[in-house]
């Protein structure tokens, strides 16, 4: 897996209960990346990924949707949704999801909004921006393939 930096960590073991949209524990401040321009060219020239570790999800028919938002203010008065991850890949316990961050101009702040569905859902999540994500599939050792 990729190296996770505390400065790019959205949440670490955040427990979400119920179906209300919940904001990630941390908001990433992209202001230091600005050099007089209003936008930050993230993921240009080098891919950045959103890595989500699903620690556990319980409840009846649980689903999870995660939206990546940016805004010019830390209060997110007019958030722009950059991407929403599909619920099918996020509902299973133990999943690690890597999603390539969209290329483009970002405003000063970045956050996640996690929404769970189903009956009485409870989920635990860790999410961060990473680079150089490990994308190859791991296979078991000493597998014998016969015709």
The string of pLDDT tens digits covering residues 109-129 is 999 999 988 888 898 999 998
The CATH classification number of 6-131 equals 2.60.120.1110
Residue 35 confidence (pLDDT) above 60: no
pLDDT at 2: 67
Mean pLDDT of 16-41: 78
The string of pLDDT tens digits covering residues 87-111 is 665 666 667 777 888 877 788 899 9
Name the band, by pLDDT with cuts 50, 70 and 90, for residue 21: very high
Tell me phi and psi for residue 128, to 5 degrees.
-155, 160
- Domain definitions of the chain by residue range: 6-131
The DSSP result for 91-117, as a single string, is SSTT-EEEEEPPPEEE-SEEEEEEEEE
């Amino acid at each position: 897996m990729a190296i996770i930096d505390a400065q790019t960590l959205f949440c670490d073991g955040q427990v979400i209960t119920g179906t209300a949209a919940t904001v990630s524990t941390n908001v990433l401040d992209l202001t230091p990346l600005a050099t007089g321009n209003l936008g930050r060219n993230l993921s240009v020239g080098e891919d950045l990924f959103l890595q989500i570790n699903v620690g556990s999800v319980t409840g009846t028919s649980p689903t999870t949707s995660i939206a990546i938002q940016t805004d010019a203010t830390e209060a997110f008065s007019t958030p722009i949704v950059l991407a929403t991850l599909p619920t099918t890949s996020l509902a299973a316990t133990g999943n690690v999801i890597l999603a390539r961050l969209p290329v483009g101009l970002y405003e000063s702040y970045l956050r996640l909004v996690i929404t769970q569905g189903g009956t009485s859902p409870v989920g635990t999540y860790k999410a961060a921006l990473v680079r150089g994500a490990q994308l190859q599939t791991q296979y078991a050792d000493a597998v014998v393939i016969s015709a």
